[in-house]
């Protein structure tokens, strides 16, 4: 069996977590197609423009309380991809709306050390989003090192979104979803 025939290695196990008590998954179905896809160079400065565009697009199609949650997801996930991803490869942000669930999905390449840090942080957020949020807020206010990692905790605790975190080889894919 050649390298091309082997399934991709998974650096961290997939994680789905968030406030849902109904067991809904944040993951998308294989046939789901994005309504909007933005592809940008990992080194580009597109955060504010892309965030504004996706927020306006969602506002033209959804109720305001859903738009607010998706806006937070678009900002936090894209900021993470641009700030912590590898500069070798594109950052892709997608907006989906299918079966009464709205999803923002961001994918980017990352180095193994960043992937490990993401896995550890995602585990903390999954275990107790409120505690992770408070801990990261304290680090944010205190300043210094290590830098706070508030984004994922904010999405689960504050915006009440379901998260789906997957890593295959060096590609990180994070989705944030909510019912519309």
| CB within 8 Å of 48: residues ≥ 6 apart | none
Instruction: Identify the pLDDT of residue 6.
Output: 42
Q: Is the pLDDT of residue 157 over 60?
A: yes
In the β-sheet with 90-98, what is the strand arrangement from edge to edge? 12-17, 162-168, 171-179, 101-109, 90-98, 36-41
How large is the average pLDDT for residues 115-129?
90
| CB within 8 Å of 21: residues ≥ 6 apart | none
Answer yes or no: pTM beyond 0.85: no
Comparison of pLDDT for 41 and 171, the residue scoring more: 171
Please state, rounded to an integer, the average pLDDT across all residues of the chain. Answer: 83
How large is the average pLDDT for residues 87-99?
89
Q: Of 11-20, 54-63, 171-180, which gets the smallest average pLDDT?
A: 11-20
Per-residue confidence at 178, pLDDT binned at 50, 70, 90?
very high
Comparison of pLDDT for 129 and 146, the residue scoring more: 129
Strand partners, 76: none
The number of C-alpha atoms within 13 Å of 88 and in the hemisphere containing its C-beta is 4
How large is the average pLDDT for residues 99-120?
92
Per-residue confidence at 16, pLDDT binned at 50, 70, 90?
low
Instruction: Identify the pLDDT of residue 18.
Output: 52
Rounded to whole angstroms, the Cα distance separating 176 from 180 reads: 13
Closest by CA to 124, choosing from 72, 82, 86, 165, is: 165
Instruction: Identify the pLDDT of residue 29.
Output: 74
Q: Is the pLDDT of residue 43 over 80?
A: no
Instruction: Identify the pLDDT of residue 131.
Output: 92
Rounded to whole angstroms, the Cα distance separating 19 from 177 reads: 11
Q: Which two tokens stand for residue 56?
A: 């306006």
Comparison of pLDDT for 45 and 156, the residue scoring more: 156
Per-residue confidence at 19, pLDDT binned at 50, 70, 90?
low
Instruction: Identify the pLDDT of residue 27.
Output: 56
Tokens 């998308």 map to which residue? 28
Q: Which CATH architecture has domain 33-179?
A: 2-Layer Sandwich (3.30)
């Amino acid at each position: 069996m050649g390298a091309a025939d082997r399934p991709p290695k998974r650096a961290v196990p997939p994680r789905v977590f968030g406030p849902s008590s109904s067991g809904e998954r944040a993951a998308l179905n294989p046939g789901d197609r994005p309504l909007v896809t933005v592809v940008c160079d990992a080194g580009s400065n597109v955060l504010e423009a892309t965030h504004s565009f996706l927020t306006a697009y969602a506002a033209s199609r959804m109720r305001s309380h859903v738009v607010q949650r998706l806006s937070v997801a678009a900002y936090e996930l894209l900021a993470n991809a641009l700030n912590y991803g590898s500069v070798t490869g594109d950052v892709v942000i997608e907006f989906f709306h299918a079966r009464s669930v709205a999803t923002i999905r961001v994918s980017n390449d990352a180095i193994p050390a960043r992937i490990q840090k993401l896995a550890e942080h995602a585990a903390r957020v999954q275990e107790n989003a409120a505690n992770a949020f408070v801990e990261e807020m304290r680090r944010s206010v205190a300043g210094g090192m290590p830098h706070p990692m508030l984004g994922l905790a904010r999405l689960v605790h504050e915006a009440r979104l379901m998260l789906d975190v997957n890593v295959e080889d060096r590609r990180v894919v994070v989705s944030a979803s909510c019912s519309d």
